[in-house]
Amino acid sequence: MIKVSEGSEGIQITYREDYARDVFSRAVSLQNAYDTLNLSMEYLKRNTFIPSTFEFEKHYQYHLEHFYLSLFGLIDRCYSLVGKSIMLPDSVIDKIGNIQIIEKRLAENQHYFKLLDALRTLKSNQEGLRNTRNAIAHKNGVTNAHIEALDILGIALDYKSYFPEGFDFDKAEEIIRNGLSARTEKELELIRNTLVLDIENIFNNLEFIYNEVGNIELMDEIKYEY
């Protein structure tokens, strides 16, 4: 493919090579989504984002929103990889409603039932977080009591004189941050416990498809010639 992009002549691409390239492209996209999700999880473990002109809670909210979007982006790309593996065209894989189309196609072949179950398990295990993801995607953003409390505490610093003498703002912030971290860690742990196994299950069931496709005689014929 590099030779083709460089304008070389006399290049022949078989159906097998074209299929492998398309599947590899979807697999790389999935890997990128997985790396992005893990990067978000890494940032959410931080206790500080110094140096920065933004407050801790602003950083935390940003990475929390990115985490939710990345999680469901990862699920979408798993479906896209499967769609390409069963030779659906890009016009179908990338359209709205693609998940239902891919599931319907898998349900038509009994040999794909285990793969269909693996995809549905991946999706259902994260379904409890979908409402939060949808709120972010629809521009409402994500928030919770801890982030709101940190915002309020930041505003309250301008009105210290109205608080009881001896009120420790630093201690209050520490308590709220610890609560926020504990709540987030609970969600991250749930994902760590299921996500990797669910994706591995999908990959294990894809092996059958690749073996099946590899035995098609047409795959060794020339598809493109440059």
Specify the CATH number for the domain of residue 22: 1.20.120
In a domain, 19, yes or no: yes
- pLDDT, mean of residues 6-18: 79
In a domain, 7, yes or no: no
- Say if CB 15 and CB 76 are below 8 A apart: no
In a domain, 158, yes or no: no
In a domain, 29, yes or no: yes
In a domain, 5, yes or no: no
Task: Give the sign of the dihedral formed by CA 109, CA 110, CA 113, CA 114.
Answer: negative
The verdict on whether omega for the bond into residue 51 sits within 30 degrees of 0, i.e. cis, is yes
In a domain, 1, yes or no: no
Give per-residue pLDDT as tens, 81-121.
999 999 999 999 999 999 999 999 999 999 999 999 999 99
Residue 9's pLDDT is: 64
Could you tell me the residue range of the domain that residue 32 belongs to? 15-140+177-214
The structure tokens listed for 109 are 């072949």
- pLDDT, mean of residues 218-225: 86
- Measured CA angle at 177 (ends 174, 182), to 5 deg: 125
Residue (of 85, 53, 111) closest to 203 by Cα position: 85
Read off the pTM: 0.81
In a domain, 3, yes or no: no
User: What is the C-alpha separation between 41 and 147, in angstroms, rounded?
Assistant: 17
